[in-house]
Structure 1
Amino acid sequence: MQYEKLISPVSPPPPCALGGVDLLLDTWTDYVLEYDYPLDDAKLFSALSQAVERYPYFSGRKVSGVEQDQNVYIDCFKGISFSFQRVDKRFADEGGITEQDWQMYLPDNSKRRKHKFSATSLKVPLFAVKQTNYDDHTVLGLSVWHAIADGGAFFDFLAAVVAAYREEVVGCYQAKDPLPNNDEHQGEYHDSIRQVSLASDARQGESAIATAEFTFGGKTLDNLLTYITPHGVPLSDYLYALAWKSAHHAMLSRTSNSEVTSLYTVYDIRQFTDIDKPLGNHLYYPKTELTSTELRSITSIDIAKKIRTSVFSMVEHAQRIEQEFAWLDKHITNKNYKQFAIRPVFDAIYEPAIMCNNLMHISYDMFDFGAGGPVSFDTPNEEYMRFISILPSRNQTDEIRFRVSLFESELAEFSRNFNQELKELG
Structure 2
Amino acid sequence: MHYFDHCASTPPHEEVIRTMAEIMAKHYANPSSLHRGGQEARNLLERARTVIAGSFAGTDAGDWIFTSGGTESNNMAIIGAARSMIRKGKHLITSAVEHPSVYDTCKQLEREGWSVTYLPASEAGLVTAADVESALTGETSLVSIMHVNNEVGSVMPIADIGAMLKRHGNIAFHVDGVQSVGKMPVDLAGSRIDLFSASAHKVGGPRGVGLLYIRPGLQLASVYSGGGQERDLRPGTENVPAIVAAAKAFRLAVEGQPARAQRMHALRQRLLACVAGMPELAINGSADGEIGGQAAPNIVNFSYPGMKPEVIVHMLDKHGILASTKSACSSKSDEPSRVLLAMGLSRERASSGIRISFGDEHGDTEIDWLCATLKKVVQQLKPLERKEG
TM norm. shorter chain > 0.5? no
Normalized per residue, the structure richer in strand is 1
Normalized per residue, the structure richer in helix is 2
